[in-house]
Structures are given as C-alpha cells and as structure tokens.
C-alpha cells in the first residue's frame, strides 16, 4: 500500500476551514440542509485561523501493510480567498514524526529519512493539484453531495452529514486531463491523461461520507468524522477513517519556516500534476 501523504490529510483539515453547517432538532429535507450549508460556508470564510487535532487510520486487508494510523496537529492561518499558511506535524503509530509547512507558495515536507523538500503550490489550481483543498474545491464537492441531511443535535452541537460520490474526484481528474491535452502531444501530457483515466477507473467504487458537528451559537465547526471505502483497488479493499477536532478560532498564529528548511530541495509533482485523492493517499 502506498503510504498516506501528509499533504492529503492536510486536504481534509484545510477543508473544514470552509465547510460547516447548522442543523435542527430533527432530520429535515436535503434542500434545507443545502441552504444552511451555504450560509455556514459564508460564516466559515470569515475565519482567519484555527488549530486542529486529529487521527486517522487506513486498513488494507489484502495488501502487505494491513493498517496504518497516525495522529496529527495543525495550525492554519488564512491569507486570502485561495491562500493560507499552515504547519502540520504528523506522528505515525510506529515511526518518527513528519512535518509539513505551507509558506510563501510552497509546501515543505520533512521526511525523517530524506530530509526537507518543497513543492510549488502558488495558485488555487496548483493547490488543487497537490491535494490541498481550496474553497473552490469545497464548492465543487458540495455540488456532488448525496444524501445531505441535518441530523439530531448532539451535546449542544448541530450536525450536518452528506456523502460524496466518485463523480467529484472524476471531475478533478478530467480537469487534469484537459490541462494535459492543452499541452499537445508530449510525454508529460500523455502520461497525465493515462494516469487520469487509470485513476477514474479505480475510483468507480469509492464511497465517502462526512459528518460535521458545529457549535450552536457560533456555527463554527467543533469536530468532523470522515469515512471512506474503496473496493477492488490496486491495494484490494481500502477503508479510511479520520476524526478531527477544531479550536482556537481567530487566535493569533505565527507560522515560520524553520532555518533547516530554507535550503529544501525543490521537487516537481507527477507528470501534469494529476491530483491525489484527499485522505486516501492515491
């Protein structure tokens, strides 16, 4: 099984900066849930910073590595509509901690084995290719939401839940393939189109569900649970789950790249920048 990338987990935790909702005391029609989600997205866009704690696990019974799990903590400072600085530390259940910074248009990763590397993520498009969720991507994800609903309140928290079908990820891959077509016939462009089609075929069985709890007074996210499964992938059946909690909204945040990362080796994303599947590590 391919190791879960820290950037792909960051995709979901950044997503919560832009997705939250509010609910009622009993389930209501999906149209009402969508309206409330839209209002809550507007509310969340005013958030300037936040702290996140969470953990995730990935199970692949048929693969050589049966299970991976890790905990993570992150701080995010919003700079603009499509831009944010971030610092995340991920600690695997067995292994050394890894760090990721997003500063100055680059994603910096510190792998205990290979040291610091950086990848350009200077625009909304580049962020999307890297797997980091932007407000535009969340807007697209909402369009493909299935079974959106408002669940009963829990502990003074509103709850909103919905499923995300594979069509959302297929659209991302179509965009990557279209970008490759614009390059004309080239090794990188041809490779991108082939990768995009292969991933589309693999994602046909993807199922993903999101459940958010929001504070009743502020409507800001309190916690989130993401579950996903993919049957018949290259790794066999895959099951993913992640739980996150959110705090310290709009508190002062200073994210500074450490001196040892200043000379990080720049690496290029895969041919044409085929986007990964956030959280699934593909």
> pLDDT band at 191, cuts 50/70/90?
low
For residue 26, the model assigns a pLDDT of 41
For residue 116, the model assigns a pLDDT of 92
For residue 112, the model assigns a pLDDT of 76
Mean pLDDT of 48-65: 85
For residue 44, the model assigns a pLDDT of 75
For residue 279, the model assigns a pLDDT of 36
Q: Examine the pLDDT at 76 and tell me if it is beyond 60.
A: yes
For residue 136, the model assigns a pLDDT of 47
Mean pLDDT of 87-94: 86
In this structure, of 9-23, 64-78, 189-203, the range with the lowest mean pLDDT score is: 9-23
User: What is the C-alpha separation between 280 and 238, in angstroms, rounded?
Assistant: 9
DSSP H helical segments within 164-247, as ranges? 166-182, 187-202
> pLDDT band at 200, cuts 50/70/90?
low
For residue 27, the model assigns a pLDDT of 43
Mean pLDDT of 251-261: 92
Q: Examine the pLDDT at 142 and tell me if it is beyond 90.
A: no
Beta-bridge partners for 109: 100, 117
Q: Which helix (H) or strand (E) holds 9?
A: helix 6-15
Q: Are 133 and 148 in contact (CB under 8 A)?
A: no
For residue 56, the model assigns a pLDDT of 86
Residue of 266 and 21 predicted with greater confidence: 266
DSSP E strands, 145-276:
145-154, 157-164, 207-215, 221-233, 236-247, 265-266
Q: DSSP string covering 90-103, please?
A: EEESSS--EEEEEE
Looking at the chain, the whole-number percentage of residues with pLDDT higher than 70 is 59
For residue 257, the model assigns a pLDDT of 92
Mean pLDDT of 145-173: 79
In this structure, of 3-7, 46-50, 121-125, 265-269, the range with the lowest mean pLDDT score is: 3-7
Q: How do residues 20-45 score in pLDDT, each as one tens digit?
A: 433 334 444 456 777 777 777 777 77
Q: Examine the pLDDT at 68 and tell me if it is beyond 80.
A: yes
Q: How far is residue 204 CA from its own chain's centroid? A: 19
Give me the chain's average pLDDT, please. 71
> pLDDT band at 133, cuts 50/70/90?
very low
Residue of 107 and 189 predicted with greater confidence: 107
Q: Are 105 and 121 in contact (CB under 8 A)?
A: yes
For residue 248, the model assigns a pLDDT of 94
Q: Which domains, from first to last, does the chain contain?
A: 6-165+206-263 (2.50.20.20)
For residue 252, the model assigns a pLDDT of 94
Q: Examine the pLDDT at 204 and tell me if it is beyond 60.
A: yes
* Beta strands 157-164; 145-154: pairing state: antiparallel
User: What is the C-alpha separation between 191 and 175, in angstroms, rounded?
Assistant: 14
pTM check: above 0.85: no
């Amino acid at each position: 099984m391919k190791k879960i990338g820290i950037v792909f987990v960051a995709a979901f935790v950044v997503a919560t900066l832009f997705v939250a909702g509010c609910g009622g005391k009993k389930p209501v029609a999906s149209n009402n849930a969508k309206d409330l989600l839209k209002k809550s997205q507007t509310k969340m866009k005013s958030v300037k910073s936040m702290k996140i704690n969470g953990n995730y696990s990935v199970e692949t019974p048929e693969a050589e590595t049966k299970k991976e799990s890790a905990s993570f903590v992150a701080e995010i400072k919003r700079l603009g509509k499509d831009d944010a600085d971030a610092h995340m530390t991920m600690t695997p259940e067995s292994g050394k901690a890894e760090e990721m910074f997003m500063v100055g248009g680059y994603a910096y990763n510190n792998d205990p084995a290979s040291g610091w590397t950086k990848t350009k993520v200077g625009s909304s498009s580049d962020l999307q290719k890297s797997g980091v969720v932007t407000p535009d991507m969340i807007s697209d994800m909402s369009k493909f939401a299935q079974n959106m609903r408002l669940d009963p309140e829990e502990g003074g928290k509103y709850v909103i839940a919905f499923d995300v079908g594979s069509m959302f990820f297929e659209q991302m891959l179509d965009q990557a393939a279209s970008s490759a077509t614009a390059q004309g016939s080239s090794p990188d462009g041809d490779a991108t189109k082939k990768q995009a089609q292969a991933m589309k075929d693999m994602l046909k069985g993807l199922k993903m569900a999101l459940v958010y709890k929001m504070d009743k007074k502020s409507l800001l996210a309190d916690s989130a649970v993401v579950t996903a499964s993919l049957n018949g992938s290259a790794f066999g059946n895959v099951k993913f789950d992640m739980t996150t909690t959110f705090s310290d909204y709009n508190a002062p945040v200073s994210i500074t790249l450490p001196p040892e990362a200043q000379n990080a080796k720049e690496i290029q994303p895969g041919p044409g920048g085929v986007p990964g599947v956030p959280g699934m590590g593909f």
